[in-house]
Amino acid sequence: MASHLSFFAFDLGAESGRAVLGHLDGDRLHLEEVHRFGNGPVSLRGSLHWDVLHLWAELISGLRAGAARAGRALASVGVDTWGVDFALLASDGSLLGHPYHYRDRRTDGMMEEAFRQVPRDDIYAQTGIQFLQFNTLYQLLAMVKAGSPALAAAHGLLTMPDLFHYWLSGCQANEFTIATTTQCYDPRRGDWAFDLLQCLGIPTHIFGPIVPPCTVLGPLQPEVAREADCPVIPVVAPGAHDTASAVAAVPASRPDYVYLSSGTWSLMGIEVAQPVINAESLACNVTNEGGVGGTFRLLKNIMGLWLVQECRRAWAREGEALSYDDLTGLAAQATAFGPLVCPSDSRFLAPGDMPARIQAFCRESGQAVPQTPGEIVRCAFESLALEYRRVLTQLERLAGHPLPVLHIVGGGSRNRLLNQFTADATGRTVIAGPVEATATGNILGQALALGHIGSLAEGRALIRRSCELVTFEPNHTDSWDEAYARYLTLVQQTQPGRAATSAPGEEMAHGPRCRL
């Protein structure tokens, strides 16, 4: 293992972005944040977009800061971001419009529209991806239905990290882990799901080559290096989907574990050698996304700490500024095992008055209505812990064996109250850390690409030596079992049923559907 090297990771999340140096010194990895900046949707003419030019300017600022700090030790740079969103490029590589934000309302009803054209089971059989209305597939279908001029003019599609890698290196390529999030990829064929795309009228020529994670894309563009006062270092595509990088950084020492990447979203799953696409995985609505090291991530997307983040913003707008520590403290003091919500209910997806939405859910489901911030946040935390139990049960059934250890990584791993709730609700040992899992996994991907780490297992051993891990043992009680029974009833009552693959007369109304 090489020593005294620095790898530069840009980690772009839904709320903020960070530029992090990973200093590899012998048998330890040390992280140093050199730049942080805000990120979020921009509302323009009734639509939500990402401000990618702002993000690019921040990447240049971060690169300049990192180069000044690391000097000649700087070995490479790589970017990871959230999934599903994308940019369209013209024939000369220029940007066509402002990339949309996945919470934009244009995808409302698009899953149902897709099912009218292609049976739901067929879509899952070809993609193995969880049905979520903001998946790239439905964003593109919305553009088809709207007659989008940008889509008609497009010569290429790049997901968000691929776009920044293109601007850094000049190489247009789609990295595997982020490509698999789109529901436009066929994991069994190892290529884009061209048959599905054609059935939905989505132009297939915009989908370019796919490269594996830990690929060296090329050197930093000279003009970028000059602007950032940075050496011409290699640009590496790590696990470019932030969850792929986070899972790569799970410090597991045994194979029978569950990971939970906890942040705005909670991504809970297991690593498998091949995609699991069958009737049971479809019934569980789990997703098969690409991983680092020849793996697939069999996981479930759960709304996560978004509920609490939006509550905090709503209370701040009303003049009640509460930190996350404040909210966790209030939740700890609130009455246990009160009302519950289904975190992934569609009403919670868009930005807005989250406290009122949580209260409305409780009222409509015949429960006591939480009133104070502490009661509302406790409701969110207990509901999340119970949803983790439900998903873990599904994963054990799909895996065919027990999963006794749950690793929580990411920003949410700092929340000791939610970690303990999770251990208690699931009856599993919880190991929390590293907090900076995504940036750590990004750095591991770069080190793997350049041969400074020999394997993913070697990288995970490096993480175990380098970061503090906190263990939470379960204090499982009958109260959690009673709450779980209530929670399952809520899910059955409020979760939308599986969309029908056809309705009487549908073929006459819409024409024959495409079979894949």
3-class state of residue 151 by DSSP: helix
Token couple for 113: 């529209």
Q: Following DSSP, what letter does each residue of 426-459 receive, concatenated?
A: HTSEEEE--TTHHHHHHHHHHHHHTTSS--HHHH
- Which amino acid appears at position 383 of this protein? S
Taking alpha carbons only, the member of 94, 93, 65, 87 closest to residue 77 is: 65
Max CA pair span of the chain: 68
Annotated active-site residue in 242, 345, 353, 478: 242
Write phi, then psi, for 301 (nearest 5 degrees). -85, 125
- Determine whether 85 is an active site residue: no
434: preceding bond cis by omega (within 30 degrees): yes
What tokens appear for 230 in the block? 């940075």
Which has the closest alpha carbon to 444: 431, 465, 463?
463
Please state, in angstroms and rounded to a whole number, the distance separating the CA atoms of residues 107 and 120: 16
Please name the residue ranges forming H helices in 288-372.
306-317, 324-333, 354-364
Q: Give the chain's end-to-end CA distance (angstroms, integer).
A: 47
For residue 39, the one-letter residue type is N
3-state DSSP helix/strand/coil percent for the chain, to nearest 5? 45, 20, 35
Q: Residue 389 corresponds to which tokens in the numbers above?
A: 């139990």
SS3 10: strand
Q: Give catalytic residue positions.
A: 242
